């Protein structure tokens, strides 16, 4: 199969489009997580000076990041199993 025929393969194009969308979603999740961390640490002098509120805030950021990562992983596995 030539490179030209691979580029025009509809299944390959669909796969690439899906991967690009997943990458965009993942990048957005990372960006939002960074914003979350920044908001939690706005008034902190150093990591050793974290208040209970900041610690809880950071813990929530991490939990949401993990939730999103697990969701993306599960959806990807489902698509692979369905042959998409």
pLDDT of residue 1: 53
pLDDT of residue 56: 93
Q: Side-chain half-sphere of 50: how many Cα atoms within 13 Å? A: 15
pLDDT of residue 59: 93
User: What's the pTM?
Assistant: 0.65
pLDDT of residue 12: 84
Average pLDDT per block of 10 residues along the chain, 84 residues long? 67 84 87 90 72 91 90 83 70
The domain defined by 3-81 folds into: Helix Hairpins (1.10.287)
- CA separation for the pair 52, 71 (Å, rounded): 28
- The angle formed by the CA atoms of residues 26, 27 and 33, to the nearest 5 degrees, is 90
N- to C-terminal Cα distance for the chain? 21
Domain ranges within the chain, ordered by starting residue: 3-81
């Amino acid at each position: 199969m030539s490179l030209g025929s691979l580029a025009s393969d509809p299944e390959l194009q669909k796969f690439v489009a899906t991967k690009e969308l997943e990458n965009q979603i993942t990048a957005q999740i990372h960006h939002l997580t960074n914003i979350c961390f920044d908001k939690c640490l706005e008034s902190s002098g150093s990591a050793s000076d974290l208040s209970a509120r900041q610690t809880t805030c950071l813990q929530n950021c991490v939990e949401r990041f993990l939730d999103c990562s697990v969701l993306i992983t599960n959806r990807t596995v489902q698509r692979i199993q369905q042959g998409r």
